[in-house]
C-alpha cells in the first residue's frame, strides 16, 4: 500500500472518491496480488483460487457508507466474501487517474503518442507527485481524423466509437481523460487539442464542437482497461517480491450487441 501510495498519493483523489483501503487487514503478509478493474464476488473467488490474499482494483468497491453488510447487493456480498476468505481489497482510483505517469499516460503510451510531449492539464502537486485529471500531447505523426479513430479502435479493441463529425484538419495534438472525462473537454479545447479521447460523454456535450475538436468516446471500461497493466508495472517495480496476477475476469457490465 505504501508503494502504491508513493506512486499516486491518496490526497490526489477527488473529494467524492473513496480510494485506498476497502476491506481487510493491512498487517498480513502478502501471498499474491490480484489486479483488476473492480472487485466482485467472481473476483474474490478468483483471488482465492490463485492464492492471492490481496486484490488491487482501479474502481473502489465502496463508494458510499454501508449501513449494513448482508446479501442485499453485490457490494455487500463482495465485502462479506472478502472477509470470509481473509482477502484485503485496496483501490487506486482518481489518484491514479491524476498522477503523473498514471492512467492517462498509459492510454497515451498504448496509442503511440510521443511521451516526451505529454503534459498534465490543470497541473498541481501532492507529496512531491504531480497530478492533473487529463493530459495533452502529440501523436508521432499527423493523421486524418478517420485514421485517428481507426487507430483508437484498434488500440483499445473496440468495435464502436462515438464521435462528432469528422474533423477536416489533421489530428496531431490529442487530449486524453480516461473514464467519465467529459468535464475535461473545455480544457482540451483550451489546450489546442485536435482530438479529445475519453470513455463517457453526455449527448448534449457533443453539440457546438464541430470542426473545433474531434471527440472520440470508446466506453468507460474500454478506455481504462490498461490500468491493470499499470498496476502490475508499479508493483513489480516497487515491490518485486510480491507475486502479481492479472485477472482473467472481464468485469465490464456493458455488452455491445451488433445484431
Give per-residue pLDDT as tens, 209-221: 999 999 999 999 9
All three cell numbers of 97: 487517474
Residue 49: what pLDDT?
Answer: 98
Q: How confident is the model at residue 259 (pLDDT cuts 50, 70, 90)?
A: low
Q: Confirm whether pTM is higher than 0.85.
A: yes
Helices (H), 11-92: 41-49, 74-85
Residue 239: what pLDDT?
Answer: 96
Cβ burial of 81 (10 Å; 0-12, 13-18, 19+) is: buried
Residue 258 has pLDDT above 90, yes or no: no
How many CA atoms, within 13 angstroms, populate the side-chain half-sphere of residue 87? 30
State the Cα–Cα distance between residues 173 and 192, nearest whole angstrom: 7
What does the pLDDT average to over 111-132? 95
Residue 256: what pLDDT?
Answer: 87
Amino acid at each position: 500500500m505504501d508503494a502504491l501510495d508513493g506512486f499516486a498519493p491518496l490526497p490526489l483523489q477527488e473529494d467524492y472518491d473513496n480510494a485506498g483501503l476497502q476491506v481487510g487487514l493491512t498487517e498480513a503478509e502478502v501471498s499474491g496480488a490480484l489486479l483488476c478493474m473492480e472487485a466482485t464476488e467472481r473476483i474474490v473467488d478468483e483471488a482465492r483460487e490463485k492464492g492471492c490474499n490481496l486484490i488491487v482494483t482501479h474502481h473502489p468497491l465502496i463508494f458510499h457508507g454501508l449501513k449494513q453488510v448482508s446479501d442485499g447487493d453485490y457490494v455487500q456480498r463482495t465485502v462479506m466474501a472478502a472477509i470470509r476468505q481473509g482477502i484485503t481489497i485496496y483501490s487506486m482510483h482518481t489518484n491514479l487517474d491524476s498522477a503523473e505517469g498514471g492512467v492517462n499516460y498509459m492510454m497515451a503510451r498504448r496509442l503511440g503518442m510521443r511521451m516526451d510531449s505529454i503534459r498534465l492539464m490543470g497541473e498541481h502537486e501532492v507529496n512531491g507527485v504531480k497530478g492533473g485529471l487529463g493530459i495533452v500531447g502529440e501523436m508521432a505523426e499527423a493523421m486524418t481524423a478517420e485514421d485517428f479513430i481507426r487507430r483508437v479502435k484498434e488500440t483499445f479493441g473496440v468495435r464502436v466509437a462515438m464521435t462528432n463529425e469528422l474533423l477536416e484538419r489533421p489530428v496531431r495534438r490529442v487530449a486524453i481523460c480516461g473514464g467519465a472525462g467529459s468535464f475535461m473537454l473545455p480544457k482540451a479545447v483550451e489546450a489546442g487539442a485536435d482530438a479529445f479521447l475519453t470513455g463517457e460523454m453526455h449527448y448534449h456535450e457533443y453539440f457546438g464542437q464541430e470542426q473545433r475538436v474531434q471527440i472520440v468516446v470508446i466506453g468507460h471500461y474500454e478506455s481504462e482497461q490498461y490500468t491493470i497493466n499499470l498496476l502490475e508495472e508499479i508493483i513489480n517495480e516497487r515491490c518485486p517480491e510480491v507475486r502479481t496476477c492479472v485477472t482473467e475476469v472481464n468485469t465490464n457490465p456493458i455488452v455491445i450487441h451488433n445484431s
